[in-house]
Amino acid sequence: MSVLCYNKSCGQRFDPDKNSEDACTYHPGVPVFHDALKGWSCCDRRTTDFSDFLSIAGCTEGRHSNVKPPDPVKPEVKTSPELIAKFNEKATQKRKPVEAIKRPSPDAPMVKLEQKVSPALKKVLEKLDLTVHNGPENKDTKEIKIGTTCKNAGCNKTFLDTSSNEEICVHHSGVPIFHEGMKFWSCCKKKTSDFNSFLAQPGCTQSKHVWNKAHKGNKFIPCRHDWHQTGGQITITIYSKNSIPEQSYVEANSTVLNIHILFERDQKFEQRLNLWGVIDVSKSQMSMTSAKIEITMKKAEPVLWARLDLPPPEPPKEAELQESSDEN
């Protein structure tokens, strides 16, 4: 009658009457699994494949054994009635709901947020300031040099003589926009993914050439911006290069945000937001770098905002307007 051998890595059936000292080849050690390598503690062979591990031949010869190894002893877990009572009490305890904060008035006084300026932005602004002050002075600003390029966007015409002033300038009156791999002008919105095609787009506006770009005050620019949120704060990112800290600020109360940014010397970005939620103004700030501005606002309550600002109020319906006119 054959019986099963319980030696590790053997698993053969044998006849107890024909069991000899070299009948079984097995592993006397234990399996070792470490850093994705598998092997036996009694020999040095290692492998990363589990099938190869199972097929590793034994390293020791001896007699077959029909004695089943004892099951591993599980550690005893001690519990006490006090611990069980505490666990049941916490499990049945209901979590208190977070009380909603009453929305403050949007007419509350505005406070300017703390402003942090990066050293890189300070260096860039110092270089730009030196360029302006150390550049060549042109006392006669009305004089136009031959070969001067038209300053209108999208126009590559150059000044030849006084007849150039009579030419029609075809240019773009808007600003370039780069978004999600597409490039276009805000005035005509002919989108393309190729930069050379974008530069070659003909203008959509006709006017006179501008040879000397005189300072005409700050221009309002629809600057690209984005926002994201975490559990405790809202971050607005405004992609304005070389912003001027002395003339840029963000002021806010608990529900309203006013953004005023001056960048690239004469470009201005302004926006007023009626925030979707409530913020803690004292723990909010704005950080300025050479490439962007980040406005970090601390949430007054840890809730997820559905959007950054409140939607504009809906106009009155025609039926309501008619009823009001009938009453009058």
Q: What is the pLDDT, as a whole number, of residue 132?
A: 46
Q: How far apart are CA 7 and CA 27, in angstroms?
A: 7
Mean pLDDT value across residues 259-270: 86
Mean pLDDT value across residues 317-322: 59
Q: What is the pLDDT, as a whole number, of residue 136?
A: 46
Q: How far apart are CA 220 and CA 268, in angstroms?
A: 5
The amino acid sitting at 282 is: S
Q: What is the pLDDT, as a whole number, of residue 102?
A: 85
Tell me if 5 sits within 8 A of 64, measured CB to CB.
yes
Question: What value does the mean pLDDT of the chain take?
Answer: 82
Q: How far apart are CA 167 and CA 150, in angstroms?
A: 11
Residue of 295 and 190 predicted with greater confidence:
295
Q: What is the pLDDT, as a whole number, of residue 108?
A: 92
Q: What is the pLDDT, as a whole number, of residue 119?
A: 92
Which residues lie closer than 8 Å to 125 by C-beta, 6 or more apart?
242, 244
Q: What is the pLDDT, as a whole number, of residue 215?
A: 45
Q: What is the pLDDT, as a whole number, of residue 220?
A: 63
Structure confidence by residue, pLDDT tens digits, 251-262: 999 999 999 999
Q: How far apart are CA 220 and CA 264, in angstroms?
A: 12
Does the reported pTM lie above 0.85?
no
Nearest Cα to Cα of residue 280 among 303, 301, 266: 301
Tell me if 137 sits within 8 A of 204, measured CB to CB.
no
**Residue 15 confidence (pLDDT) above 60:** yes
Tell me if 41 sits within 8 A of 60, measured CB to CB.
no
**Residue 35 confidence (pLDDT) above 90:** no
Q: What is the pLDDT, as a whole number, of residue 81?
A: 77
CA dihedral (189, 195, 197, 201) positive or negative:
positive
Tell me if 251 sits within 8 A of 259, measured CB to CB.
no
Residue of 213 and 183 predicted with greater confidence:
183
**Residue 46 confidence (pLDDT) above 60:** yes
Residue carrying the six token digits 């006709």: 206
DSSP string covering 112-156: EPEEEE-HHHHHHHHHHHHHHHHSPP-S-TT---TTPBP-SBT--
Q: What is the pLDDT, as a whole number, of residue 71?
A: 74
What is the band of 295 on the pLDDT scale with cuts at 50, 70, 90? very high
Which of 86-100, 126-140, 187-201, 232-246 has the highest mean predicted lDDT (pLDDT)? Answer: 232-246
Structure confidence by residue, pLDDT tens digits, 57-113: 888 888 888 888 777 677 676 667 777 777 777 666 655 665 667 889 999 999 999
The amino acid sitting at 168 is: I
- Residue 72 φ/ψ, nearest 5 degrees: -60, 140
Mean pLDDT value across residues 316-327: 60
Residue of 101 and 239 predicted with greater confidence:
239
Which of 11-15, 48-52, 287-291 has the highest mean predicted lDDT (pLDDT)? Answer: 287-291
Longest dimension (CA), the chain: 122
Tell me if 221 sits within 8 A of 269, measured CB to CB.
yes
Q: How far apart are CA 236 and CA 49, in angstroms?
A: 50
Instruction: Mean pLDDT check: name the lowest of 143-152, 170-179, 317-326.
Output: 317-326
Q: What is the pLDDT, as a whole number, of residue 224?
A: 84
**Residue 11 confidence (pLDDT) above 50:** yes
